[in-house]
Amino acid sequence: MKILEIKNLSLRSKKNKTLLLKNVNLTLNKGEVLGIAGESGSGKTLMGLTITKLLDPAIFEILSGEIIYDDNDILKCSEDYLRSIRTKKISMVFQEPMLSLNPVQTIKTQLYEVIKLHITKNQNDIEHLSKNIITQIGLYDFDKILSSYPHMLSGGQRQRIMMAIALVCKPDILIADEPTTALDVTLQLQILDLLKDFKIKNNMSMILVSHDLDLIKNYTDRIIILKNGLIIEEGITENIFENPVTDYTKQLISSTPDRIVTAKASDIKILETNNLSCRFPLNNSFFLKNRKYFSALSDIKIYINEGETIGIVGESGSGKTTLAMAIMQLLDYSGQIIFNEKDFSQLSNKDIRKYRDNFQIVFQDPFSSLSPRMNILEILSEGLLAFNKTIQHEELVEICSSLLSEVGLANDMLFRYPHQFSGGQRQRIAIARALSMKPKLIIFDEPTSALDVIVQKNILELIVSLQEKYSLSYCFISHDLKVIKSISHRIYVIKDSRIVETNSTENILKNPQNDYTKNLIKSSFLN
C-alpha cells in the first residue's frame, strides 16, 4: 500500500538556476524501508527536506511535481496543515544531533514540547509517554536524562534523544538523513537496530538516506541511487547489489576497498615508540597537587618497519590523532620516539626542524589543510624552500610539476588556488606536498574520511602505488576498519588512549581476541 508518492519532482536553486533534482519519481509503501544512496551533492538531503517542505523558498524553487501523502499534495498545502503533520505524521532525524537540539533547554522541555503540541496536554500522560519512548530507544536512566542539557550527553545519547523526539508521535513516515554518520561505528548498528525494531512494532515506513552502502544494504528493502539529482537506478536492495545495471551503480558497489596492499616490508625498524604517554591539563590550578589531567595516550608501544603500513584504528576520542601529532613532534609527550635510531625526545625543537623532511603528514580535511591564499606552486615549494633557500624558480616549477604528475594531476594546475579543486584533487595535492620532502615515513590521519567512496578508492590506490615505488613507510590512522584492512600490513586497535590489540591484518580479522575488536569488526560488516 502506497503511503507516499513523489511524481516528477524538479527542483532548482534560485541563484544560479542549476537543477538540483530532475524529474524524481518515487513511491514509499507502508512498512517499507527505502534507502537513498549517492555521493555528496547528489541531492539526497534535499529530497528528504522537500518531502516535509522544509526547504527555504528564498534559495530553492520547485519547478514541477507533486508529493502526495494522505491524498493531499504536500507542495500545495497550507503552512498550518504542514505543521500539523510534521513530526506527527512525517518525522525527520538529521545527521548532527548537537545541531538539532537546542543547547539552552533541557531534554525534558524539548521532548515535552513535541508531545504537548501533537498528542496531549495532560501532564500525567506526557510523563507516561516520554518515559515509554525513552526506554524504547534504549536509555534507562529516565530522570537523569530528562533533566540534562544536550551538552551533558554523549553523541550516541543525543542521537537517541533526537530519535525519541521524532518517534514519540508514532509517525507514519520517518526520514532518517545520515542518522549514524556522526557516530562511532560501534554505535551505528545499535542505533539502526533500534530504528528497525521500532519500525516493525509500529508498522512505520522509513526513508534511510546514507552514503554508506553497507548500511543501506543491511537495513533497507528497496533502494534508489541518486546522481546529480537524477534517479539512475531503483529496485529491490538484493537485486541491485547482485545485478547492478548502470555503470555508476557498479562503480559505487565495487568501491568498498578491497585488500590492495602489495609492498613487501623489510625488517628494519624505522620508527619505534616506548612508553609514549601524553596528557592534557583539565583545570589549570595554581597548585600542582590540585591539577587534573586527561590522559590522551598512555604507554603506547608501536613500531614501523621500512616499507610497511601500520593501521591504527579506534573511535573518536581514543587518541589516534594525538598519537599522530606526537610522532610528528607537534606536542609535548613523555617517553621515547626513536626515528631512524635517533631519539627525538632528547632533541630541542630547533634540532628537530632539521629532521622534519624525514616524516610528513596528510590530514583528514583537504579543505582546511591547504592555505586558501596560496597557489599550488607556492604550497608545494614551501617545504623545499625551507630546506634549500638557493633553489631557482625554474627548478621549483619543474620539481612541482613532476610532483603533480606523481599524484595524477595535470601540471597546468600549478598556478591555481585550492578552492578551484575538488576534495579528491586537494587530497592529492596534500599528498604531493608530503612527497615534496622525500620523506621516509608518511602519517595519514583519516585521509579518506571526508571523501566520497569512489574517490576514496582512487586515493587509496594512489597511496599504495607510491609505497611500492619509493618503499615508503606509512602510519595509517582511521576509524574505518574497511579502509585500514585494505592497505595495512599490521593493525593496532586503540581504545581509551591504550592499545588494546595488535597483530597482522589477517590474524586480527580472522581471530580477534579483544571484545572491542570483535565489536568493531562486526560493526564494519567484515565478518
Partner 1 sequence: MTFKKYNSYWIKFLNNKRNKYSLFLFSFFFILSLFAEILSNDKPIMMSIDNELYFPIVVVYTDKHFNGYFDTEADYKDNFMTEKMSKKGNWVVFPPNPHSYNSINLNNSTPNPAPPSQYNYLGTDDRGRDVLARLIYGFRLSVLFAFALTAIGILIGLFFGAIQGYYAGKIDLYLQRFIEIWGSMPELYLLIIFSSLFEPNIFLLIILLSLFGWMGLSDYVRAEFLKGRNMEYVIAARTLGLSNTSIILKHILPNSMVSVITFLPFRISGAILILTSLDFLGLGVPPDTPSLGELLSQGKDNIEAWWLSISTFLVLTGTLLSLIFIGEGIRESLDSRS
CA dihedral 475, 305, 524, 479 (to 10 degrees): -20
Residue window 361-380: x/- pattern of binding to partner 1, with contact defined by CB under 8 A = x-xxx--xxxxxxxx-----
Residue window 222-261: x/- pattern of binding to partner 1, with contact defined by CB under 8 A = ----------------------------------------
Options 26-34, 147-155, 348-356, 395-403: segment touching partner 1 (CB under 8 A): 348-356
Q: Exactly one of 359, 474, 492, 516 binds partner 1 (CB under 8 A); which one?
A: 359
Pairwise CA distance, residues 487 & 359, whole Å:
19
Q: Which is nearer to partner 1, 353 or 510 (CB)?
A: 353
Q: Which is nearer to partner 1, 434 or 455 (CB)?
A: 434
Q: Which is nearer to partner 1, 66 or 365 (CB)?
A: 365
CA dihedral 430, 431, 434, 435 (to 10 degrees): -140
Residue window 289-328: x/- pattern of binding to partner 1, with contact defined by CB under 8 A = ------------------------------------x--x
Give Cα 111 to chain centroid, integer Å: 28
Give Cα 89 to chain centroid, integer Å: 30
CB of 371 to partner 1, least distance (A): 4
In our burial notation (b when 16+ CB lie closer than 10 A, e otherwise), range 133-161 reads bbebbbbeeeeebbebebeebebbbbbbb
Q: How many residues bind partner 1 (CB under 8 A)?
A: 31
Pairwise CA distance, residues 153 & 111, whole Å:
15
Options 176-184, 292-300, 360-368, 401-409: segment touching partner 1 (CB under 8 A): 360-368
Q: Does 118 bind partner 1 (CB under 8 A)?
A: no
CB of 482 to partner 1, least distance (A): 24
Question: What residues between 379 and 408 interact with partner 1 by CB under 8 A?
Answer: 382-383, 386-387
Q: Residue 468: in which H helix or E strand, if any?
A: helix 453-470
Name the grid cell of 207.
526513508
Strand-pair partners of 61: 12
Contact 203, 3 (CB under 8 A): no
Q: Exactly one of 131, 144, 353, 469 binds partner 1 (CB under 8 A); which one?
A: 353
DSSP string, 302-348: -EEETT-EEEEE--TTSSHHHHHHHHTT-S--EEEEEETTEEGGGS-
Contact 177, 92 (CB under 8 A): yes
Q: Exactly one of 357, 399, 408, 482 binds partner 1 (CB under 8 A); which one?
A: 357
User: Which residues lie below 8 Å from residue 437, measured CB to CB, with a gap of 6+?
Assistant: 356, 357, 358, 360, 383, 384, 387
CB of 380 to partner 1, least distance (A): 10
Strand-pair partners of 208: 35, 176
Name the grid cell of 458.
582512487
Question: What residues between 400 and 459 interact with partner 1 by CB under 8 A?
Answer: 415-417, 430, 433, 437
Options 196-204, 266-274, 293-301, 352-360: segment touching partner 1 (CB under 8 A): 352-360
Q: Does 360 bind partner 1 (CB under 8 A)?
A: yes
Pairwise CA distance, residues 129 & 22, whole Å:
41
CB of 373 to partner 1, least distance (A): 5
- Report the 10 Å Cβ neighbour count for 415: 10
CB of 353 to partner 1, least distance (A): 5
CB of 352 to partner 1, least distance (A): 9
Rule CB under 8 A: which residues touch partner 1? Answer: 325, 328, 330, 353-354, 356-357, 359-361, 363-365, 368-375, 382-383, 386-387, 415-417, 430, 433, 437
